[in-house]
Structure 1
Amino acid sequence: MVVIVVQARMASTRLPGKVLLPVLGKSILALMIERLQMIQHQAVFVIATSVNPEDDIIEQEARLLNIPCYRGDQNNLLDRHYQAALLHNADIVLKIPSDCPLIDPRIIDQTLTYFFEDTIAHDYVSNLHPATWPDGNDVEIMTMACLKQAWENAEKNLELEHTTPYIWENPQLFSIGNVSWETGLDYSMSHRFTIDYQEDYLFIKRVFEELYPANKNFSCADILDLLNSKPEIYQINTSYAGVNWYRNHLNELKTIQPEQTKQAPVSQ
C-alpha cells in the first residue's frame, strides 16, 4: 500500500492560513490534492494536520475533498507522518508538503517508478538530495520500516519537525536513492513554485489562472514555458528563490552545503 501523506496546518509565521488561500474559487490545498490525484500509480491520500483548534478547518476541508484526515502533534511532523501511515496500513510512504501546489504529477510518478524499478532496493528515494527541479516539486518516498526506524531513533528538533532529516543525514544506516531532472538542468535555487510568502501566493495564483482553465494537468515544462513567454510572472517571487528551511540549520546538517540555501530578503 502506497500512502501519500500531505502535511497541512493553518499556523504559519510568514503567511498564516496559506494552504486555504483561494485560487480560481478553490483552496490551494484542494488544487494540490487534485494534482496529486492525477498520478498514474495507485495510492491512498491522507491529510495530516495538528490537533490544534485552528486546524479544525483543515479537517473540514479534507472532508469536503473526501480525503482522510489524521490529526497529531503540531511540531512533531515525524510522529504525525508515522501515525498517519500506520493507521492506513502503509508499506510505502510519500511525504508531500502542502506548500507545493504546483507539483507536477509526472515527477511523482517518475520518482515512484525509480523507487520500484531500480535494481537496488532503497529504503528512501527523493528528488531533493541533491535537488534539481524547481523548488516546489518535492517528492520523498520511504519504506514503512525506514520511517519507523527514524520515528524510533530521531531526537533532534529539526528531525522531528521536518520528518526525514534523520534518514538522509544518516546514509550509513539507509539505502538512499535520488532522482535528478532528466534535462540536466538545476533550477532548484533559481525557480520557486512553493508557497511561504505573499509573493509566492501571487505567483502561484497567476500560474493557475494562466494554465489551469485550458489544462488542469499542466506540467512543470508548461510552467517554465509560461515563465519564458511572460517573464513578469517569474519576477513576482524571484527574490525568494533558493530560500528554504535549511538556512536556519546549516550548523546542524551534515549533508547540506551553504550553496543549497539562502537567507530571505529583508522586508522593506
Structure 2
Amino acid sequence: MADNVVIIVQARTASSRLPGKIMMPILGKSLLARMIERLLIIRHRATVVIATSTNAEDDVIVNEANLLKVPYYRGSLENVLDRHYQAAKMYNADVVLKIPSDCPLIDPRIVDDVLDHFFNNKGKFDYVSNLHPATHPDGNDVEVMTMDCLQKAWENAARPLELEHTTPYIWENPQLFRTGNVTWDTGLDYSMSHRFTIDYPEDYQFIERVYAELYRTRDNFSCQDILDLLQRKPEIYELNARYAGVNWYRHHLEELKTVTSEQTRQIDLHTV
C-alpha cells in the first residue's frame, strides 16, 4: 500500500513583523490560498492540511480552510512541534511534509524533487530537506520526514526553539536520525541572495508584483520563471533585496550546532 503523505502548512495570523500576512490579498485571493493552490498541483499524491492555533484570532484561518475545502487542525500556538504531530496523527500520516505558510511562491517542482529523493531512497532516510544546507531561493522550504521520526522528536524535544520550529531536534541530532539533503540542480546557491518569503511589507510588494507579472499567463509559474523575471526587471528584485539572507537562525546561533553565521544575516532596524 502506498504511504499516506500529508503536507502540513503551519499558519497563524499573529506575526511580530507583519500581522495577518497570510491573509493579505494576492490577485483577489489570500496569500494562504495562493500558496495552497501551488501545493495542490504537485505531482505526488498528498493531502494538504492547514495547522493553526486554537486562538480566536485564528478563526479566520479556519474559515479560509473551509472556503478552500482544505482540512485543518487546531492546536497549540507556541508548541508548533505538537501542532504538527497532532495534525499528522489526526490525518493518519505515514510521511509528513512541513511547509511554512510564508512561502506563497514555493515551486511545486521543488516539493516534488525533495519527495522524489525521499521515495527513491526509501528506507534510507528518516528526514530529507532542502535546507541543510539550503541552496534554493529562500521561500522554497521543504522538509519531509517519516511519522516515526516526527513522533520521536515530539517525545524528546524540550528546548523552546525545538518546540517552536518543529524540526531542529531532528537535524541537530544526526546520531539519532538518518538525514538527507537535496541541493538545487542548477549548482547555484541563491539561499542568501534571493528572498521569496514574507515577513516584511517589502516582501509583500515583491510577491504581489511577481504574481501580477506571471500568474495570468502561467498560473503554475516556476522558480526559474521568477528568476527570469528578475533578470528582465531588476527593480522587482530590489523591492526586498535588503532582507535577503535574513531568517530565524539569527536569533539562535548560540544554541544551534549545525547552523553557522554564514547561513543567516543580521539586520540593522535603524536602516530599514
The alignment covers a number of residue pairs equal to 268
Q: Does 1:192 align with 2:195?
A: yes
Equivalent residues in 2 for 1:75-154 (5 A)? 75-118=78-121, 121-154=124-157
C-alpha distance in structure 2 between counterparts of 1:36 and 1:119, whole Å = 22
In structure 2, the residue matched to 1:211 is: 214
Shift of 1:121: 1.4
- Percent of matched pairs sharing the same residue: 69
C-alpha distance in structure 2 between counterparts of 1:63 and 1:105, whole Å = 23
C-alpha distance in structure 2 between counterparts of 1:103 and 1:218, whole Å = 10
Shift of 1:119: 6.5
Q: Does 1:48 align with 2:51?
A: yes
C-alpha distance in structure 1 between counterparts of 2:69 and 2:99, whole Å = 18
8 Å Cα contact 1:239/1:265 also seen in 2: no
For normalisation by structure 1, the TM-score amounts to 0.99
In structure 2, the residue matched to 1:24 is: 27
C-alpha distance in structure 1 between counterparts of 2:136 and 2:46, whole Å = 23
Uncovered stretches (5+) of structure 1, i.e. residues with no partner: none
C-alpha distance in structure 2 between counterparts of 1:69 and 1:85, whole Å = 11
Uncovered stretches (5+) of structure 2, i.e. residues with no partner: none
Q: Does 1:11 align with 2:29?
A: no
C-alpha distance in structure 1 between counterparts of 2:92 and 2:200, whole Å = 35
Q: CA-to-partner distance for each residue in 1:30-59, whole Å, 9 max, x for gaps? A: 000000011000000100000000000000
C-alpha distance in structure 1 between counterparts of 2:153 and 2:226, whole Å = 35
Aligned-pair Cα RMSD in Å? 0.8
Which residue, out of 246, 251, 256, partners 1:248? 251
C-alpha distance in structure 1 between counterparts of 2:86 and 2:150, whole Å = 10
Letter in 1 for 2:248: W
In structure 2, the residue matched to 1:159 is: 162
Letter in 2 for 1:126: S
C-alpha distance in structure 2 between counterparts of 1:176 and 1:9, whole Å = 28
8 Å Cα contact 1:240/1:265 also seen in 2: no
C-alpha distance in structure 2 between counterparts of 1:38 and 1:217, whole Å = 8
Q: CA-to-partner distance for each residue in 1:190-219, whole Å, 9 max, x for gaps? A: 000000000000000000000001000000
